[in-house]
Chains A and B, each alone.
Chain A
Amino acid sequence: MAELQPLSFAIFVLITLATIGISIYAARRVRTAGHYYVAGGGVRWVVNGFAIAGDYLSAASFLGITGLVAFSGYDGFIYAIGFLAGWIVALFLVAEPLRAIGKYTFADALTSKFKSKKIRLVAAISTLVISVFYLIPQMVGSGAIVGPLIGLDYEIGVVVIGALVILIVATAGMVSTTWVQFIKGFLLLIAALALTIGVLVVAGMWPIGFLEQFLSGTVNIPTSSGVTQVPGEVFMSPGMKYTNPLDFVSLAMGLILGTAALPHILIRYFTVPKPADARKSTVIAIVVMGIFYLLTLYLGLGANFFGTLDPSDANLAAPMLAMHIGGEAFYAIISSIAFATILGTVAGLIMASAGAIAHDIYTEVLGRKTDEKRALRISKATAISVGVIAIVLGILAKGQNVAFLVGLAFAIAASANLPALLCTLFWKRTTEWGIVTGIVVGLISSIALIVVSPAMMSEGALFSLFNPGIVSIPLGFAVTMGVSLLTSDRVKSEATEKTAG
């Protein structure tokens, strides 16, 4: 695979440059366009909605789910369902109240109530950790697609592409990432639609009929040592990957509760002027993503149907499917869009981590309020160092499915951030220590469980589930609320002592 294909490479460079170019142009046009262009205002939430979808639909959604469905059938589809279901939490519970209290970052929202430097510090750390975990799969994805495309080995691909992406984001992207996300959201939807139509046309079947024939026949799954055959009805039911039912529950829980706690998604809510706009943006995003996730089912099954699977790297199912359906040019286009996807998500993640360091830790915790230029320089330095960490970890995670890896980031977010966020918003008895310990325990427990899980320790794993959610999420809530109750008693008794004295 590792040789340079001139046509693919040319298309790849063209689409990447066009994405960056258009986003700069669009960012400028908003400022300088004549008044014939847009009559009234009030479309910020539409732009933001697409940008949210762009931020959220990462390599995991496109490359990862396609690969998982292709190899594990129904157990891959649960990712599509769970990734979308998480938005219901965002829509009904988080979007509007969060917009009302937050200004710049996730930590801002949490500290609106207590003005606590401790909370700000742990929230910033948790933002950084989750962003790095989310960055790893993006790096894995970029190495997987760009390697075959330009003819680089996986490791060099990750380093080169990772460095490129970080450079773009750290120098240029700071002004125009919103537009990268916006364009990317569009491109991805169109790419998925085109691929799905391609699958159905080449297979010569209607959408329902295509699913039906899977159920009635046998399904071939290529492995490194040959081909395994399974009955269609087994493939299209839960249990291919998650044989342990508890694993399925844990994953489903992590996915629905993780979305509304992802820092790079939450910062998007601070970009619109009113709480109602935050809700409207969410609705736009849900529509775009819902359609997209329905399509991923067809992409994955299509890849299985045409046998465009590489057992050594499940992440390549979508681009290989494109190659089969539309030849090299289509393959290059789909790979480029996948790359634009990664570029956009990395931009969002780096924004979130740089914001955590520059705004939360430098400006607020260390109290350097006056020096904005220096804060910006620090945010750029953060972007680069976070990126380097992600590149190294990305190389270590070679061959892991990207949707699976992102599922872990969701579980960490749900364990550390969601309890703190929901309690700050809705529970009056929450205390400063409740939030601090809740975040710390949620963060540490979920990461520790991942480290001792079967994915990290192939044999003799201390914890038998792939996803830590079912243990660490309730633990996060329990600690946040338990410590709050304990410390609120103390605060109250101190208060009575004072009045008594």
Chain B
Amino acid sequence: MNYDLIVIGGGPAGYVGAIRAAQLGKRVACVEKERAGGTCLNWGCIPTKSLLRNAELFHLMKHRGGEFGFSFENLRFDWSKIIKRSRDIADKNAAGIEYLFKKNKVEYVRGEASLTEAGAVTVNSADGKTRELEAAKILIATGVVSRPLSGFPFNGRTVIGSREAMVLEKQPKDIIIIGAGAIGVEFAYFFNAFGTKVTLLEMMPNILPLEDTEVSQTLEKAFAKQGINVLAGTKVVKAEADASGVRISVEGKKSESLEAEVCLVAIGVQPLLPAGLSLQLTPRNFIQTTDRYQTSVAGVFAAGDIIGPPLLAHTASYEAIQAVEGMFTDHVPKRINAFPSCTYCQPQVASVGLTERAAREQGLKLRIGKFPFSASGKARAAGEVDGFVKLLFGEPYGELLGAHIIGAEATEMIAELGLALTLEATHEDIEASIHAHPTLSEAVHEATGQAFGTAIHL
């Protein structure tokens, strides 16, 4: 069978790249070994957002019901229904991708692909059949899987990765989470909201170490208030596991030995390289690509998590579209520039552009504007006064350099600032845009004003 493009992997890079190529009139096959949608739809972004919605609702009712005038005699939750809701949503989304494949005439091939040679892919399906596919171009979008802590392998029960963590049959009494990136932080919030005793370990000085330090510190305080045991600047020195639980020795501000039923290892990921042809890799074993997403083998391209950070669904989709348009049109592919990062605990964290730390390291002259939600009418009405909007502007032109939001709807509010960055907006443009009242987004307007001395509500 001959195609213009074979995409290996059906995640946010793979399915998006396949559909775009089909839209360009190309004959496309997309090979997926599990389920269309990849980690994002099946084992990442979407199912965890379902779990987190349950968590925030329960947390609100349980701990803040009185504030809103609610009281409950017997507030309970059904763990298995929480998990099932998440799985049903994932299934529905995956079916949606399969529908999109049909609609766009992308041939969806189930099985494990290996790269026989440039232009040839062998697919072994679960029923033992083998298919040979040929195409002028191949796009590798196989993504990544959770990386184990060395000497502390996953065992599927007491030492788990994010994938197992979202389908635990029984709510654990206590859990130790190693790694406080977005995944570790979201699961910490989730389990804690339902009453699991959570210890969150992070080697770097702050949780969410890639975010603006002020944001990380604010989240640490919020988490501590919620009852999460946050141990930042703490290293795991010894870790043991058996069928009944884990024992972990840590060194940080103090050295201690921790025990729990389950340990979630969320220290990062490792690439999932396709079998066959060996391609040139980066020092961290991701696939090395050029500015056009070309690998070391002619005709073989790669996009998404498999080519390295940022490891995000939305950047993966962007890369795949760039790669495919570069292959089939005269478009000059672009690499990722500014992209939003979102963490869906409560309070939520979202950012785009430079952190204050990075801007200072680059020696940039800055003007910083900050507006706390405690000064926002809408935030008070919603009972969501935690957090702030922090905006970084350059001198002398006042262009937006970075935006950092921690608060209730941070992940929805960041889009405006992503657009501002892409358009190279200056503070005048944000100030000249009327922001609806009452909204949380007014805080963006006010933070801008605060940087330039024109804020009204501070």
- Report whether chain A binds chain B: no
Q: Please report B residues at the A interface, Cβ cutoff 8 Å.
A: none
